[in-house]
Amino acid sequence: MMLLVMRHGEAVSQASSDFERSLTNRGKQQVVDNFNKFLNRQQPLPDLIFTSPLVRARQTTDLILDSSGIHVEPEVSDKLVPEGHVDDVLQLLATNADSNVCLLVSHQPLVSYLVHCLTDVEVFLETSMIVGIQTELFEPHCGEVKWHINDYS
């Protein structure tokens, strides 16, 4: 499976709660621009999408769907919140391992922990960054980073 690990776009710093923080205009542009760079790579499109329930991740996912023509109903998972646990995410992915390309939209620090756990590569995912990981197993040290897209650091 190709796993696309993506951090949401830039979000406002103030809101009634962390859950409600929405994307800035710049964040919306980041998401569209970086996902278009993914599309330009002529890679297979996601056939499975998981997203955090937080507003900024849901908006990121919606922008991807609206701008790309991908027709996949995203699954919202509480396991993808910023304080989520990598083991829970690995279990979620393992139960859906028959997918060819999975897009996972989440937050720091979880996305960086996940990339490191799967690949041993230490990376801090900036907003809207996408990391492509090839893996057949969702266990530590079983994946390989194939590429990343990040033009908004």
User: Is residue 105 within 8 Å of 80, Cβ to Cβ?
Assistant: yes
Q: Which residues, in sequence order, are CB contacts of 80 under 8 Å at separation 6+?
A: 50, 51, 52, 53, 57, 89, 104, 105, 106, 107, 110
Rounded CA-CA distance 105/99 in Å is 16
Number of domains in the chain: 1
pLDDT at residue 153 in the model: 45
Q: With bands split at pLDDT 50, 70 and 90, how would you rate the model's confidence at 152?
A: low
pLDDT at residue 54 in the model: 98
The enclosing domain of 40 has a CATH number of: 3.40.50.1240
* Preceding peptide of 109 cis, ω within 30°: yes
pLDDT at residue 55 in the model: 98
- Can you read off the two tokens belonging to residue 139? 């266990």
Domain that holds residue 32: 2-149
More confident of the two residues 98 and 85: 85
- pTM of the complete model: 0.95
pLDDT per residue over 26-81, tens digit each?
999 999 999 999 999 888 999 999 999 999 999 999 999 999 989 999 999 999 99
